[in-house]
Structure 1
Amino acid sequence: MTATTFRIGGDLSVRRLGFGAMGLPTEPGPARALSLGVARRAVELGVTLIDTAHLYGGGANEELLAEALYPYPDGLLVTTKVGVARSAETGEWRLDGRPDVLRDQVENALRRLRVERLELLQLHRLDPEVPLADQLGALRELQTAGKVGRLGLSEISVAELEQAREIIDVVSVQNRYNVLDREHESVLVACEAAGIAFLPWRPVAWGKSGAHAEIAAVAAELDATPTQVALAWLLDRSPVVLPIPGTARIGHLEENVAAADLRLTPAHRDRLAALAPLDRPADQS
């Protein structure tokens, strides 16, 4: 039986199938009202892990979730990410891991989410122009100060994960990964060995799953949708995998959440596993 929950950092229990809030419109009007409804419906359906980031609208996504869900129900984890900032000169988004920027983004996230502590904070990307020790050291200081509970990383290699674990306790990794794209397979394997939560972004290949004949065939045999098959495969792939599919439509949300109850047979598992190569050198991620 596939486990339905996972303890991030060994103590923070969440249901494994979460929700990615990135695609929720935040501008005033009917679209925002729908976004509020989707976020609330996710919690009604039992989702306990919701992913956002400073990058998503410069904090507007965080504010949306707070408007929809605050005061947060017991057991709900809203995790956010920092480390990408908008240039004051060009207006373009860029990596920015300078300690003062990270600290400022954390303070703003606390304010926008209306909390005193971020139970899980992830570094959106490593900034190659800032020493790793400076980036992670700033986050560790925020953790020591009680403003952050646990720390994670995103879009990293196995080597970077090893380096980071010498500085902080890494409890989660968020890399691109799905049934058709397993470039970061070695990172998932490393996370599984260490008991680190692996949050795959783009978990259903942006709809490409439905166009793949083998996935469509498995879906038909299981009386499910290709999206549900792709999510069920992720949940079946490893107990540390916590998919965070996103949508701005309640119907799609309900379809996604229902994937947690879909069970693949060994034959289905083998057919899906054969769709993309698994063997990758440890440094290719």
Structure 2
Amino acid sequence: MTSSAVNELQSEILAMPDWLRRPIGKASELSTVQKIIKHRQIHTICEEGRCPNRGECYAQKTATFLLMGPTCTRSCAFCQVDKGHSPMPLDPEEPQKVAEAVQILGLRYVVLTSVARDDLADQGAGWFVKTMDAIRELNPETQIEVLTPDFYADANRIRVIVEAKPACYNHNIETVRRLTPPVRRGAKYDRSLEVLRIVKNFAPHLPTKSGLMLGHGETMAEIMETMTDLRSVDCDRLTIGQYMRPSLEHLPVRKYWTPEEFAELGAIAEKMGFTHVRSAPLVRSSYHAGE
């Protein structure tokens, strides 16, 4: 890399503000979960994505499991999860391993998410259902939220998950329309809206949820447009958080939105009719999901 390129790269790196610096949680809470998932060779997005809230969520008996391996078949430019075109074969014991981990940890609320598995015939929709069934067999009182890929907005794939009756169906739109191509490579803005619309068509009373991460250069007007689009497909719940660059290989942060701006956006979202809103710099998709 030339010196001019290095200087240009460094000029893009914004200093992280104090409000984004926080302890990751009690070491004992992190260690307990980490040992259990490592022993069973399963994954959580809490660890794979290095979520800053994982200690807090573990203490509240909530966790988000990452199904179907740690390698995604898409290559979103913001995401910490590993990417590649040769993901691991499915572990036939994974649903049972996740269910046992839920039981041992005494989790009251579980979020199931996954990498995109475009290599599978159903893109992994049936795997969500198998894992839900396994969890319920051992943990009948545990509520299960799903955070799914877009399944190319295939209604049949979405329907099998809806019919398994999750507590909430979450699919993140992630960013505004203008920034979707560079930020979410392989995804489409309108396709994500269509996923949420399909869910509501199958189950009008099933809560739906989506999430936005700010900091890629979006404007206030674009954020409000996105929230309006989400409400147009009857999305019920919304999370809004700050994008934090995982490495120099990922997209740079263009702006750190202030806590006051997040509070303002949260108030706007509530006025728009979202029934549950979390809007703060460190909020992530599953933050306080059990509430």
Which structure has more relative contact order (CA 8 Å, sep 6+)? It is 1
Give TM-score scaled by structure 2 length. 0.49
Give TM-score scaled by structure 1 length. 0.50
